[in-house]
Amino acid sequence: MKTVIKRMKRRTPVFFMKVRNTGLVIGAAGAAVLASPVVLPAILIKIAGYAAVAGGVMGAVSQAAVTNEKK
């Protein structure tokens, strides 16, 4: 578990920073649709749920990518 925490704290490559940010936007959009007080069609709610999960996974996995720096 310590290695995972160390890996999450290390520098992330630029490409994966963009993937992480995109995942956060997708996840936030899905969460916003899920939390809306308006009655929406069931298919839209289902898609929003998948988007929220996919965005969270994108963010977590891309944060785990690290640069291979020489010491």
**Would you state the pLDDT for residue 67?**
80
- Tens of pLDDT, residues 10-30: 888 999 999 999 999 999 999
Question: What is the distance, to the nearest Å, from the Cα of residue 32 to the centroid of all Cα atoms in its chain?
Answer: 15
Residue 64 has a pLDDT of: 85
Cα 9 to Cα 32, 38, 55, 71: the distances in Å are: 28, 39, 20, 16
pLDDT beneath 50: ranges in the chain: none
CA distance 30 to 16: 21
